[in-house]
Structure 1
Amino acid sequence: MTDIDKGTSARLPTPHGEFTITAYFDRSTGIEHLALHCGDVAGEEVLVRVHSECLTGDIFGSLRCDCGPQLQLALARIAALGRGMVIYMRGHEGRGIGIEQKLRAYNLQDQGMDTVEANLALGHPADSRRFEAAAQILQDLGVRSVCLMSNNPLKVLALEAQGIRIVQREPHEIDANPENAAYLGTKRDKLGHFLRG
C-alpha cells in the first residue's frame, strides 16, 4: 500500500539542463515532495539523489552546510548523464526539526555545541527524517534499482528497507569551508556519514 498521490508534472528548464518536475503528496504526513527527473527513469541502475529540504543551504546559499552545492552537483551529474532523478524531500529541514528549531540549533552551535548536541538539547533526535515516501516515489516512476548519490548510510538502509535495490552508493562529497568543516566532521564522526577525515 502506498501513502503517496502523484500530482502534476511540468517541464523545468534549469542551468544544468531540462528536467521534468513532478509533485507527490504524502497522505501520511500532509507534505508535498518533488521528483526532478530526466530521461527514461523506469528500470535499473538509475542515478538518484534523495535530497532533504534545506531552505538555508538550497535557497540562501548558507555556508554552514553542504546542502546547496550537493543539490546543484546532483542536478549537473544527472543532466550530463541524460538520465536520473533528484527526489526533493520537503519537511526535512534541519534533519526533520523544522526551520524555527533549526535556527535555534544554529544559535546553540554558535555557543559551542555541535549539530547533534544542539538537536538533542532542543529535545529532538539527532536525525528524525523518514524516507518511505522517497522509496514510494521511485517505485511509482518504475525505478527498480538505483546508483545512489549519498554520503548518508541511513538513506541507504531506509531505501533498502522499502525494497529499493541499491546497486552502488556513489560518494557525493563537497569540499569543506571554514564555516562547515566542524559540521561535516560531526556528520562523519557522530552520524556515520561517509566523508573524508
Structure 2
Amino acid sequence: MSYQFITSAKLPTTYGIFDMHMFENAAGQEHVMLTVGLPMVAPLAQSAPAPLVRIHSECLTGDAFSSLKCDCGPQLNAAMAAIQQAGCGAILYLRQEGRGIGLTNKIRAYALQDQGHDTLDANLMLGLPADARVYDMCGPMLAHVGVDKVRLLTNNPNKVAYLNEYGIEVTERVPLLVGVNHHNSAYLATKRDRMGHIFSEELAPEVDNSER
C-alpha cells in the first residue's frame, strides 16, 4: 500500500511546539507524524544520535476521553513530553483504532471485557484478530524526515521487529510504563502474559486521588 505526504504545519501544545505532518494512504486514510528537531527530507548525519520515536495507534477512548481501561492516553502524553525533552524525535500517530479492529468493534470487545473476558479473548470471541495493526506506513513517514534509525519508546517487542523488517534500525527499546490503575492492571497483565509486552517494573496501580 502506498503513502504520500500531504502537508505540514506547526502545532503548539502544552508540551511544546511540534511540526505536524499529514500523510494519506491509497485508501484515503490519514496518518499523522509529530516531530521535534528533525529536518524535512534531508537525512540525519550518520554521527547524529538516533531520535526518540513513539509509534502510537489511535485510541479515541484513551487519547481523547481519558479512559482508565487502557494506558494509551498517558502513554501519548508521556511520549510527547519525553520527545520534547530529548529535543529530537517523532510520534507516528497511526489511524488504526482498537488495535486495528475499529471503534465499534472495540466497544463490543469492551462489553465482553465487562463480563469478565480479557482483551485478547474478547477480540477472538468476536471473530476478530488479537492484533490487526500494520506498520508498513512507518518507513515512508520516517523517511520523510530522513530517519532510518530510532530509539523506540515502547513495551512491545513486536514493534521493534516490524521496524527492522521495514528497514528501520532500532538502536534501543525505551520502556514506557505509565497510567497503571485498578481499572487497567488486568488489561496490562494480559498484554504482558499473553501478548509478549515487556514491563521492567511491577504493574502497581498509581494512586488516583480523584476517586477518593
Q: TM-score by structure 1 length?
A: 0.95
Number of aligned residue pairs: 194
Q: Secondary structure of the equivalent of 2:137?
A: helix
Amino acid in the other structure paired with 2:138: A
Aligned pair 1:64/2:106, yes or no?
no
Instruction: Could you tell me which runs of 5 or more consecutive residues in structure 1 were left unpaired when the two chains were aligned.
Output: none
Q: Where does residue 183 of structure 2 map in the other structure?
A: 179
Amino acid in the other structure paired with 1:17: G
Which moved further from structure 2: 5-14 or 173-182? Answer: 173-182
* Aligned counterpart for 2:169 among listed residues 148, 165, 183: 165
Give aligned-pair identity as a percent. 48
Distance 1:30 1:115 in 2: 29
Deviations, residues 67-110 of structure 1 (Å, cap 9, x unaligned): 000000000011112111000001x2111100000000000000
Instruction: Could you tell me which runs of 5 or more consecutive residues in structure 2 were left unpaired when the two chains were aligned.
Output: 203-212
* Aligned counterpart for 2:30 among listed residues 29, 32, 39: 32
Q: Where does residue 196 of structure 2 map in the other structure?
A: 192
Q: Where does residue 139 of structure 1 map in the other structure?
A: 143
Q: Where does residue 102 of structure 2 map in the other structure?
A: 98
**Deviation (angstroms), 1:175:** 4.5
After superposing on structure 2, the runs of 4+ consecutive aligned residues of structure 1 that deviate more than 2 Å are 40-44
Q: Where does residue 5 of structure 1 map in the other structure?
A: 4
Amino acid in the other structure paired with 2:34: L
Q: Secondary structure of the equivalent of 2:106?
A: helix
Distance 2:14 2:22 in 1: 21
Distance 2:64 2:20 in 1: 17
Q: TM-score by structure 2 length?
A: 0.88
**Deviation (angstroms), 1:163:** 0.3
Deviations, residues 8-48 of structure 1 (Å, cap 9, x unaligned): 10110000000010100011x43110000011254250110
Distance 1:188 1:40 in 2: 33
Q: Where does residue 18 of structure 1 map in the other structure?
A: 17
How much is the aligned-residue C-alpha RMSD, in angstroms? 1.2
Q: Any residues of structure 2 matched to 1:81-92 within 5 Å, and which?
A: 81-90=86-95, 92=96
* Aligned counterpart for 1:117 among listed residues 118, 121, 139: 121
Aligned pair 1:55/2:60, yes or no?
yes
Greater Rg over alpha carbons, structure: 2
Which moved further from structure 2: 134-143 or 54-63? Answer: 134-143
Distance 1:166 1:57 in 2: 27
